[in-house]
Structure 1
Amino acid sequence: MKPNLKACGQAMVTAMVNAVLAVALMLLVEFAISGTFQVPEPYIWAGVLIWAVIFAAQFLRQRHLCRACEQTDEPSSAETVGKS
Protein backbone atom coordinates (compact mmCIF):
# COMPACT_ATOMS: atom_id res chain seq x y z
CA MET A 1 0.00 0.00 0.00
CA LYS A 2 2.81 2.42 0.84
CA PRO A 3 4.41 2.29 -2.66
CA ASN A 4 1.00 3.12 -4.15
CA LEU A 5 0.57 6.16 -1.89
CA LYS A 6 4.07 7.41 -2.57
CA ALA A 7 3.61 6.89 -6.31
CA CYS A 8 0.23 8.63 -6.19
CA GLY A 9 1.69 11.67 -4.43
CA GLN A 10 4.58 12.04 -6.83
CA ALA A 11 2.34 11.50 -9.84
CA MET A 12 -0.18 14.06 -8.52
CA VAL A 13 2.48 16.76 -8.17
CA THR A 14 3.99 16.07 -11.59
CA ALA A 15 0.60 16.04 -13.30
CA MET A 16 -0.56 19.24 -11.58
CA VAL A 17 2.60 21.16 -12.50
CA ASN A 18 2.39 20.05 -16.12
CA ALA A 19 -1.33 20.83 -16.39
CA VAL A 20 -0.89 24.31 -14.87
CA LEU A 21 1.98 25.05 -17.22
CA ALA A 22 -0.04 23.87 -20.23
CA VAL A 23 -3.05 26.02 -19.30
CA ALA A 24 -0.77 29.00 -18.64
CA LEU A 25 0.78 28.57 -22.08
CA MET A 26 -2.67 28.37 -23.68
CA LEU A 27 -3.74 31.55 -21.87
CA LEU A 28 -0.55 33.31 -22.93
CA VAL A 29 -1.22 32.45 -26.57
CA GLU A 30 -4.85 33.53 -26.16
CA PHE A 31 -3.69 36.86 -24.74
CA ALA A 32 -1.21 37.31 -27.60
CA ILE A 33 -3.97 36.71 -30.15
CA SER A 34 -6.96 38.49 -28.60
CA GLY A 35 -5.40 40.90 -26.11
CA THR A 36 -7.66 39.79 -23.23
CA PHE A 37 -7.25 37.31 -20.42
CA GLN A 38 -10.43 35.31 -20.82
CA VAL A 39 -10.44 31.69 -19.75
CA PRO A 40 -12.58 29.81 -22.26
CA GLU A 41 -14.17 26.60 -20.96
CA PRO A 42 -12.30 24.35 -23.45
CA TYR A 43 -9.00 25.46 -21.90
CA ILE A 44 -10.13 24.21 -18.50
CA TRP A 45 -11.22 20.87 -20.00
CA ALA A 46 -7.91 20.63 -21.86
CA GLY A 47 -6.06 21.19 -18.58
CA VAL A 48 -8.10 18.47 -16.86
CA LEU A 49 -7.44 16.07 -19.73
CA ILE A 50 -3.71 16.85 -19.66
CA TRP A 51 -3.69 16.29 -15.90
CA ALA A 52 -5.48 12.95 -16.21
CA VAL A 53 -3.20 11.58 -18.92
CA ILE A 54 0.00 12.65 -17.19
CA PHE A 55 -1.25 11.43 -13.81
CA ALA A 56 -2.07 7.98 -15.16
CA ALA A 57 1.27 7.59 -16.91
CA GLN A 58 3.31 8.95 -14.00
CA PHE A 59 1.42 6.86 -11.45
CA LEU A 60 2.21 3.66 -13.31
CA ARG A 61 5.85 4.71 -13.78
CA GLN A 62 6.35 5.80 -10.15
CA ARG A 63 4.62 2.68 -8.79
CA HIS A 64 6.97 0.52 -10.85
CA LEU A 65 9.99 2.47 -9.60
CA CYS A 66 8.85 2.31 -5.97
CA ARG A 67 8.23 -1.43 -6.13
CA ALA A 68 11.58 -2.05 -7.82
CA CYS A 69 13.29 0.08 -5.20
CA GLU A 70 11.56 -1.81 -2.39
CA GLN A 71 12.67 -5.17 -3.76
CA THR A 72 16.32 -4.17 -4.12
CA ASP A 73 16.44 -1.83 -1.07
CA GLU A 74 18.21 0.82 -3.14
CA PRO A 75 17.25 4.51 -3.37
CA SER A 76 15.15 5.28 -6.44
CA SER A 77 16.63 7.30 -9.28
CA ALA A 78 14.44 10.31 -8.33
CA GLU A 79 15.80 10.28 -4.76
CA THR A 80 19.36 9.84 -5.99
CA VAL A 81 19.10 12.79 -8.40
CA GLY A 82 17.64 15.02 -5.68
CA LYS A 83 20.50 14.28 -3.27
CA SER A 84 23.37 14.95 -5.65
Structure 2
Amino acid sequence: MKPNLKACGQAMVTAMVNAVLAVALMLLVEFAISGTFQVPEPYIWAGVLIWAVIFAAQFLRQRHLCQACEKDTQSPVTESARTASKS
Protein backbone atom coordinates (compact mmCIF):
# COMPACT_ATOMS: atom_id res chain seq x y z
CA MET A 1 0.00 0.00 0.00
CA LYS A 2 2.82 2.44 0.84
CA PRO A 3 4.47 2.25 -2.63
CA ASN A 4 1.09 3.06 -4.20
CA LEU A 5 0.63 6.14 -2.01
CA LYS A 6 4.17 7.33 -2.66
CA ALA A 7 3.73 6.76 -6.40
CA CYS A 8 0.38 8.58 -6.33
CA GLY A 9 1.88 11.60 -4.59
CA GLN A 10 4.81 11.87 -6.95
CA ALA A 11 2.58 11.39 -10.00
CA MET A 12 0.15 14.01 -8.70
CA VAL A 13 2.89 16.62 -8.32
CA THR A 14 4.41 15.86 -11.72
CA ALA A 15 1.04 15.97 -13.48
CA MET A 16 0.00 19.19 -11.77
CA VAL A 17 3.24 20.99 -12.64
CA ASN A 18 3.03 19.88 -16.26
CA ALA A 19 -0.64 20.80 -16.60
CA VAL A 20 -0.09 24.25 -15.08
CA LEU A 21 2.86 24.88 -17.38
CA ALA A 22 0.84 23.76 -20.41
CA VAL A 23 -2.09 26.04 -19.55
CA ALA A 24 0.30 28.92 -18.87
CA LEU A 25 1.89 28.41 -22.27
CA MET A 26 -1.54 28.32 -23.94
CA LEU A 27 -2.50 31.55 -22.17
CA LEU A 28 0.78 33.17 -23.16
CA VAL A 29 0.15 32.32 -26.82
CA GLU A 30 -3.45 33.53 -26.51
CA PHE A 31 -2.18 36.83 -25.09
CA ALA A 32 0.36 37.14 -27.91
CA ILE A 33 -2.37 36.61 -30.49
CA SER A 34 -5.32 38.51 -29.03
CA GLY A 35 -3.73 40.89 -26.52
CA THR A 36 -6.05 39.90 -23.68
CA PHE A 37 -5.73 37.46 -20.80
CA GLN A 38 -9.07 35.74 -21.25
CA VAL A 39 -9.20 32.11 -20.15
CA PRO A 40 -11.31 30.25 -22.71
CA GLU A 41 -13.07 27.16 -21.39
CA PRO A 42 -11.32 24.77 -23.84
CA TYR A 43 -7.99 25.72 -22.27
CA ILE A 44 -9.20 24.57 -18.89
CA TRP A 45 -10.45 21.28 -20.34
CA ALA A 46 -7.15 20.84 -22.18
CA GLY A 47 -5.30 21.37 -18.88
CA VAL A 48 -7.48 18.76 -17.16
CA LEU A 49 -6.91 16.30 -19.98
CA ILE A 50 -3.16 16.91 -19.89
CA TRP A 51 -3.19 16.38 -16.12
CA ALA A 52 -5.13 13.11 -16.42
CA VAL A 53 -2.88 11.64 -19.10
CA ILE A 54 0.34 12.59 -17.34
CA PHE A 55 -0.99 11.44 -13.97
CA ALA A 56 -1.94 8.01 -15.32
CA ALA A 57 1.40 7.48 -17.05
CA GLN A 58 3.47 8.78 -14.14
CA PHE A 59 1.50 6.78 -11.59
CA LEU A 60 2.19 3.54 -13.44
CA ARG A 61 5.86 4.48 -13.89
CA GLN A 62 6.38 5.59 -10.29
CA ARG A 63 4.58 2.53 -8.90
CA HIS A 64 6.86 0.28 -10.94
CA LEU A 65 9.94 2.17 -9.75
CA CYS A 66 8.82 2.09 -6.10
CA GLN A 67 8.11 -1.64 -6.25
CA ALA A 68 11.47 -2.32 -7.90
CA CYS A 69 13.27 -0.21 -5.29
CA GLU A 70 11.41 -1.97 -2.48
CA LYS A 71 12.40 -5.38 -3.86
CA ASP A 72 16.05 -4.30 -3.99
CA THR A 73 16.06 -3.12 -0.38
CA GLN A 74 14.36 -6.30 0.86
CA SER A 75 16.68 -8.61 -1.06
CA PRO A 76 19.18 -10.45 1.18
CA VAL A 77 21.83 -10.32 -1.55
CA THR A 78 24.38 -7.60 -0.86
CA GLU A 79 25.94 -5.33 -3.46
CA SER A 80 29.30 -7.11 -3.19
CA ALA A 81 27.65 -10.46 -3.85
CA ARG A 82 25.95 -9.01 -6.95
CA THR A 83 29.19 -7.67 -8.38
CA ALA A 84 31.01 -10.93 -7.59
CA SER A 85 28.38 -12.95 -9.43
CA LYS A 86 28.66 -10.72 -12.51
CA SER A 87 32.39 -11.30 -12.94
TM-score, normalised to structure 1, is: 0.86
Distance 1:12 1:63, change over 3 A: same
Pairwise CA RMSD:
7.0
Alignment of 1:1-84 (within 5 A): 1-71=1-71, 72-73=73-74
Q: Unaligned stretches of 5+ in structure 2?
A: none
**Identity of paired residues, percent?**
90
Cα distance, 1:44–1:78 mapped onto 2, change above 3 Å: farther
Shift of 1:81: 26
Deviations 1:40-71 (A, max 9, x none): 00000000000000000000000000000000
Query: CA shift at 1:82, angstroms?
Result: 29
CA shift in 2, pair 1:57/1:21, >3 Å: same
Q: Count matched residues.
A: 84
Supply the distance in 2 between the matched residues of 1:17 and 1:83 (Cα, whole angstroms).
41
Q: In the aligned structure 1, how far is the partner of 2:37 from the partner of 2:84?
A: 38
Q: Deviations over 1:7-42 (max 9, x none)?
A: 000000000000000000000000000000000000
In structure 2, relative to structure 1, the CA distance for the partners of 1:2 and 1:80 (3 Å cut) is farther
Query: Is the partner of 2:38 in helix, strand or coil?
Result: coil
4+ residue segments displaced more than 6 Å: 74-84
